[in-house]
Amino acid sequence: MSFLDSAPRLDRPVSVDLPGFFARAAAPDGDVPCLRLLIGGEWRDAGSGATFDVVSPIDGSVIARAPRADRDDVVAAIDAAREARAGFRAQPAAERLELCEHAAGIVAEHLDTFVDVIVADLGKTPSQAKSEANATRERLGLAREEVRKIFGEYLPGDWIPDTLGKSGIVLREPVGTVAAIGPFNYPLFLAASKIIPALAAGNTVVAKAPSDDPLPLVLFARVLEEAGLPDGVLNVITGPGGEIGDLLAEHDDISMISFTGSTAVGRRIARLAGPKPMHLELGGNAAAVVLADADLELAVDKTLTGAFKNAGQRCDAISRVLVEDSVYDAFVKRAVDEAAEWTVGDPRADGVQVGPLVNAKAAEAVQRLVADATGRGAEVLLGGEADGTYHQPTVLGDVSPEAEIVWEETFGPVLTLVRVSDLDAAIALANRSRYGLDSAVFTTNLDQAWKAAHALECGMVHVNDAPAHGVGHFPFGGFKPDSGIGREGLGYSIDECTRIKTVVMPA
């Protein structure tokens, strides 16, 4: 008997019903919409006519078909972006900001459609999908915050003998064409958070949609088109990630790569791209340190949310909880009791908090990590099973530091508990990771909090809260190569999409 036999579910199959506004981007094709590529302002099929099915992880229903772009399609998209550069760069920045504000209003008008598509395409709960759609709308509305970083600098030359009689003016200019490659876990927001600052800075974009859930990005491109984006400024490709990603990385007319995804793929892109600018947000292995003086009720609530939210499919998810030995047993009891309240099942059903993983392969990967941990002495305190695309919310106790799950990105709903003797031991264990994206520390002692914040080797430390990036008001990114390079966030993203030019003038 499977845990899914008693899980909440709806009897009707998953389907996508798109309003006529999106027909240009996703035309009806039998019972499902057929997505189109956007190249040079034209919505079109792949040159070969090839397509692939888009399958909902909720029940395996085919919810759309998407073009399987090949090399010729990708080159055409790059060429279109190259041709559109000069005209878009000449457009006043104020008009680009107005376009973003207009797009925010259109997203708001079609918010329910975006929510439904994210639920069907990825299996998020409606509340999680609504949060993502709203964050995208807010990011568009905050485009003016992005451009606060586009400013120049005046350098008088009379401070240095060899520049007497001269002045330097430092300008920030668009890099050219940005390749935006987003992951499946936030198919709308993470794509938008790459596209918006690139456009605000005056760049053109070629965006690759995630193959598991391409609908949100294609629909978002339709919104930007309606908002007035000129032809060729944004081009959208769907198809096999390896082939398309490699071509985007290597092509000379791609000026910059903005990629969020796995460490392995990020490293490959870096090798192929060579010296061109890159923003890479890669793997995470966030450690949450729970000290003896922590508020355990708060720590349990936040670490469970950090591990289980979005079925654990987040780069900033809590991958391991390092609990001081003196409060370990009390923490475990609370954690198991509260984790039992997290319901897994069809995300469309009332009361479900944990939906499926993106596909069965992802659930199998999580199950292998759980099996490795139990094989090394860990105890399954709750859950521990997988069925198809679903994995139970799971609590693992007394996990050995030798277990793979302590060091790898789990990307599933697993709370991994490890005993530590004190803060120093926790910091040492946390910093052994090859990742350095996020972490958290739970304590009521300010000195301990600051000690942990300074010592943890990662790009963001959260005190008495689970890691979360939100719309990007606070900058985030990795410290170690396996967690990437560059910083995302309002204003900070724009730095990644601009380059510095120095103009030397007579004083």
Catalytic residues: 281, 315
Q: Closest by alpha carbon to 505, among 151, 152, 150, 154?
A: 154
Token output for 32? 């499902």
Q: How far is residue 196's CA from residue 215's CA, in Å, rounded to a whole number?
A: 18
The CA-to-CA distance between both ends of the chain, in Å, stands at: 82
- The answer to whether 204 and 39 are in contact (CB under 8 A) is no
Q: How far is residue 314's CA from residue 282's CA, in Å, rounded to a whole number?
A: 11
Which residue's structure tokens are 């609370």? 334
Residue ranges with strand state E in 30-104:
32-35, 37-39, 42-44, 51-55, 62-67
Using only the alpha carbons of the chain, give its radius of gyration: 24
List strands edge to edge, sheet with 498-506: 153-156, 166-174, 498-506
Token output for 167? 């002045």
Q: Closest by alpha carbon to 389, among 15, 122, 9?
A: 122
Kindly tell me the sign of the dihedral angle through the C-alpha atoms of 230, 198, 189, 111.
Answer: negative
Q: How far is residue 198's CA from residue 203's CA, in Å, rounded to a whole number?
A: 5
CA 90 to chain centre: 31
Q: Outline where 309-355 has alpha helix (H).
A: 325-339
Q: How far is residue 13's CA from residue 47's CA, in Å, rounded to a whole number?
A: 32
